[in-house]
A = this chain, B = another copy of it.
Amino acid sequence: MTAPASWLDLPPDHPFGVATLPYGVFATGAGTPRVGVRVGEQVLDVAAVAEADGRVPELAAAFGAATLNPLLSLGRPAWRRARAWLTELLTQPDRRAVVAAHLVPLDRVRLSLPIDVADYVDFYASEYHASNVGRIFRPDSPPLTPNWKHLPIGYHGRAGTVVVSGTEIRRPRGQRRPPGAATPTFGPSQALDIEAELGFVVGQATELGTPVSVDEADEHLFGVVLLNDWSARDIQAWEYVPLGPFLGKSFATSISAWVVPLDALAAARVPVPGQDPEPLPYLRGTKPPQGLDIRCEVELNGTVISRPTYRDMYWSPEQMLAHMTVNGARLRDGDLFASGTISGPRDDSLGCLLELTRNGTQPLRLPDGSTRGYLTDGDRVTLRAWAPGPAGARVGLGEVTGTIVPPR
């Protein structure tokens, strides 16, 4: 499959060309938020062009909404129609006039949280990350818990503190027990970390009691965001036994403003590295599990400090979704589940400072001569990523960025 040529004057490897077409929610001036699609350095006002074009009346209400949730509720056949329609608009020269009138420069729009997050689940799907964390947090035990290769470990996070890229990240305060101390102290986290992850946006709600199989999962996977699961390691280490992470994570989770449709990532599907032992039947589909060849960058104050590679992840997105629902848990439009930290086998492919600095004991040196074990107030973290598209095209994921500010 080749990427269709566009009448847009974009370089063929532009990350937001017609092979990408990510959805977001934007507003201009005093206007109300509505759905937009990023094309190059512009945003297409989809509701306006749908009205002018007149060929997708069944999608008009969803495009005019202030979140993607109405679009998510329509299901994959509608998602495919929307994408085919957008592709035609941007590649057929005779559509240029109607489209061009509804393109807004990116620097003139405000982007908001694209989805009303229903439930937020965070998985732990990187074997490298889970092993590294196990060695640091539980040095006296095997790095992987006995269940890890049998099921995608996950937990629920706080949906209400998912924020859009660009939102300031306020350093959380909380309890932590200093090494060797008998009792905890309270104060601003001294171990504020990032976690570079992918987030999967779910649509086409299901009914309680109805699991979604691995083979059915793609019907519910609308698209992906880049996600930074900010983590206060000192708070987390003290609180997480026995019921898991809570305040160490629930202060903020940032996602990119753009949701890249799963259909844009067809050329990026790759086999997962391999699963041994073979998972139980409910985690197997008719085809071998497929991961995603997505290359990420973690940038701290302008310096790339890591290049995590999503293709190293152990569990596939479809396996995570099937596992999440196998007990009958229903899906809602706007559910968001994240991969867990994307870490690969190399020192330069680790997705969090906990691993990159060995829990702060081996600080990074930045070009300005400063060092970082964990994040300092004022630090700006940006995650970026791209995937191969059809015929040499490049599919960009919207960046997710956040700057650390001190507690109030």
Contact = CB atoms under 8 A, between A and B. Distances in A.
A252 interface: yes
A238 B146 CA distance: 9
Interface stretch (A10-18, A20-28, A156-164): A156-164
A33 interface: no
A161 B146 CA distance: 28
A407 B326 CA distance: 11
A101 interface: no
A138 interface: yes
Contacts of A172: 326-328
Contact of A327 (B154, B174, B327): B174
Nearest to A408: B209
A177 B150 CA distance: 10
Nearest to A161: B329
Interface in A169-216: 170, 172-175, 177, 183-186, 208-211
Interface residues of A, number: 69
Given A158-B119, A183-B277, A186-B282, A238 B326 contact: no
A85 interface: no
A138, A156, A246 — most chain B CB neighbours (10 Å): A156
Contacts of A246: 121, 153-156
A150 B184 contact: yes
Nearest to A185: B280
A155 B250 CA distance: 10
A156 B153 contact: no
Interface in A199-241: 208-211, 232, 235, 238-241
A121 B209 CA distance: 21
A276 to B, nearest CB: 12
Interface string A233-259: 001001111111111101110000000
Contacts of A300: none
Contacts of A328: 170, 172-173, 251-252, 407-408
16 contacts: A124-B243, A145-B242, A150-B184, A153-B239, A153-B243, A156-B157, A160-B330, A160-B335, A172-B326, A208-B252, A209-B408, A210-B408, A242-B244, A243-B244, A247-B323, A328-B407
Given A173-B328, A247-B324, 5 more contacts: A134-B242, A150-B183, A155-B244, A160-B329, A251-B327
